[in-house]
Structures are given as C-alpha cells and as structure tokens.
C-alpha cells in the first residue's frame, strides 16, 4: 500500500527516534543487527499512541521494548504517530502490523478495521482535571469563560473531558484547546495559557522530570481502560501469538510508578469492551466527518 506524503514524513521523523532507541541493542541504521555475521529478523514496528512528546514516550516504553526484544529474539522498534487522527486513519488503512490505541479507538478497530486485541495493561486509569496549584481556579464553576487543555479530540481522555464539561453545564462556556502532548499541556498550564488540563493519572505519572509541576487535582472525572495493543490484519497468526505471550510475561518494575507502560498485561473482558461502544461510535463519526 502506498503511503501518503504525510505518513512518510511522520515515519521519517519517528524512525530517527526509533533508531536512537534501538542503538543500545547494536542495531544498524536500517534496523538490522548481526550476531556472528548472521542477519537477525527484520525489526517489529510498534506504533504508540502520542500522549507524550516522542522522545519521552520512547523512553517510558523502553523497558517493555527491551523485554519484547528478548522474548521474541528479534529487534523491536517503537514509533509514534503525529496525532491521534493520523494514528487512527493509518490503522484504518491497515498500515501498521502492531499498534497501540486509546481503548475506544481499539474497540472501533476490532469492530470495523479487522484488528485483534493482543493485551491490555491491568493498571487502573483515572481521568483527572488539574489546575495550577496557586492559581485562581478553586471550584469547577470557576472554569467558566476560561480555556482547558486536552489531547486532541480522538483521544479518550479528551472525549471523557468534553462529556464531563457538558455534565457540569460548561459545554460551550469553556474553550477547549488541543494539546500536542500532556507534557506540552503542563507547560501551557504553567504559562497560564490554559486554566486547567485534562489528563490520565497514569499519563501524569510518566511526565518527564523537567516538566513544570505544582498542579492540583480539581476533579477526578472517570475511570477508563489503559491504551491497548492490537495486531493489524496483516500480522501473521504465529507472530500474533508470540507477541501476545511476550506481553503477558512482562513484569513491571516495582521501583517505577504503575502506568500503562509499567504494568502487567492481560485480557480485557467483553463487558469492558462493550462499555466503550458509545465512545467508539463518537470516534467513528469524527473520523467519517468531512474535514
């Protein structure tokens, strides 16, 4: 399948980052390694949801990548899409053998795009609204007339955040500003460009050390599944099963926060998947709407 110019641009950018992440494994620039002169299999690309800046995202998932590399006995390359819409559209076109999607897009991909769930992090995830610790917003009603930063519309945290604003009577009373990543959202909060940020508690726990902090939790607005890893329709069955087994054997680091990246992996019940159907329907409408 011929890739679009935008997809190629995204791949060139993130492949450089992936190459840096793989450098510690002794991989050559083209993703090939040699052991005693024999070539190893081609790298398995896994495309991650872009909730952090690319370098931070790859660093957070480095332990899982190393585990998968060891278990699969092949190089594993982590990539990230430019935004959630790009990620969803490329997944819908079947461009990725393995992809991580927000849970509602994962549900949509299994219903409409012939993807198959591989594993789900068992870490619980809560969606939070945070404000500046010393800032003027002390109650939810004080958000009226102000700006709230969220990941783009197709992220699950933004979907939950927008619904919450409606239930609080703030729909249309708050300007929602899309953020490229949760760490950039925290910089916007520090600079008073937004009065609040919607993010997951697990995303908050993965923020780089240099990120401005001092935020205060204004509200906890819902629990959601963590992002899910899926096999695209072109990934061979044997590779799916090997990857699933490798994911299920991952042990999180107890010295690190419990997050989607640092969590045991397991199945997700059909009941929890079906509970995502309303959010999946909203995502389907957003993707099908003219731009």
What CATH number has the domain spanning 5-123+226-288? 3.40.190.10
Element (H, E) at 129: strand 125-132
For 259, the token pair is 């997050």
The pLDDT assigned to 124 comes to 95
| Model pLDDT for residues 246-264, shown as the tens digit of each residue | 999 999 999 999 999 999 9
Q: Which of 67, 204, 53 is nearest to 128 (CA)?
A: 204
Tell me the domain boundaries of the chain: 5-123+226-288, 125-224
Q: What is the DSSP letter of 2?
A: P
Q: What is the DSSP letter of 40?
A: P
For 166, the token pair is 């409606």
Cβ distance 240 to 114 under 8 Å? no
Q: What is the DSSP letter of 123?
A: S
For 286, the token pair is 């957003």
The pLDDT assigned to 121 comes to 98
For the four alpha carbons of 148, 154, 157 and 159, in that order, the dihedral sign comes to positive
Element (H, E) at 119: strand 116-121
Give me the residues of the chain with pLDDT under 70, please: 1-41
The pLDDT assigned to 41 comes to 65
Cβ distance 127 to 158 under 8 Å? no
Cβ distance 98 to 232 under 8 Å? yes
| Model pLDDT for residues 182-228, shown as the tens digit of each residue | 999 999 999 999 999 999 999 999 999 999 999 999 999 999 999 99
* φ/ψ of residue 23, rounded to 5: -60, -35
Residue that the structure tokens 């641009």 belong to? 9
Q: How far apart are CA 177 and CA 68, in angstroms?
A: 36
Q: How far apart are CA 77 and CA 24, in angstroms?
A: 12
Whether domain 125-224 has CATH 3.30.70.580: no
Q: How far lies 103's CA from each of 99, 120, 275, 287, in Å?
A: 12, 9, 10, 16
Cα 202 to chain centroid distance, Å, stands at 11
Q: Which of 64, 63, 23, 69 is nearest to 43 (CA)?
A: 69
- Side-chain half-sphere CA neighbours of 175 within 13 A: 8
> Hey, is 28 helix, strand or coil?
coil
């Amino acid at each position: 399948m011929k890739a679009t110019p935008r997809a190629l641009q995204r791949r060139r950018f993130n492949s450089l980052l992936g190459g840096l992440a793989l450098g510690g494994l002794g991989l050559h620039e083209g993703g090939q390694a040699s052991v005693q002169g024999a070539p190893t299999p081609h790298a398995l690309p896994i495309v991650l949801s872009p909730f952090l800046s690319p370098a931070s995202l790859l660093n957070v998932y480095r332990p899982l990548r190393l585990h998968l590399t060891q278990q699969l006995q092949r190089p594993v390359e982590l990539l990230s899409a430019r935004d959630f819409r790009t990620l969803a559209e490329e997944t819908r076109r079947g461009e990725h053998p393995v992809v991580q999607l927000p849970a509602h897009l994962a549900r949509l991909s299994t219903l409409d795009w012939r993807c198959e769930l591989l594993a789900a992090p068992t870490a619980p995830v809560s969606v939070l609204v945070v404000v500046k610790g010393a800032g003027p917003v002390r109650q939810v009603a004080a958000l009226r007339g102000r700006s709230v930063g969220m990941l783009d519309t197709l992220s699950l945290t933004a979907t939950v955040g927008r619904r919450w604003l409606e239930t609080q009577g703030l729909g249309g009373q708050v300007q929602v500003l899309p953020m490229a990543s949760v760490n950039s959202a925290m910089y916007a909060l520090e600079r008073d460009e937004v009065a609040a940020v919607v993010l997951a508690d697990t995303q908050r726990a993965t923020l780089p050390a240099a990120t401005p902090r001092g935020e205060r939790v204004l509200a906890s607005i819902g629990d959601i599944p963590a992002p899910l890893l899926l096999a695209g329709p072109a990934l061979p069955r044997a590779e799916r099963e090997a990857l699933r087994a490798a994911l299920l054997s991952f042990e999180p680091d107890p010295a690190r926060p419990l997050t989607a990246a640092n969590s045991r992996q397991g199945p997700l019940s059909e009941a929890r998947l079906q509970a995502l159907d309303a959010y999946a329907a909203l995502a389907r409408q957003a993707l099908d709407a003219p731009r």
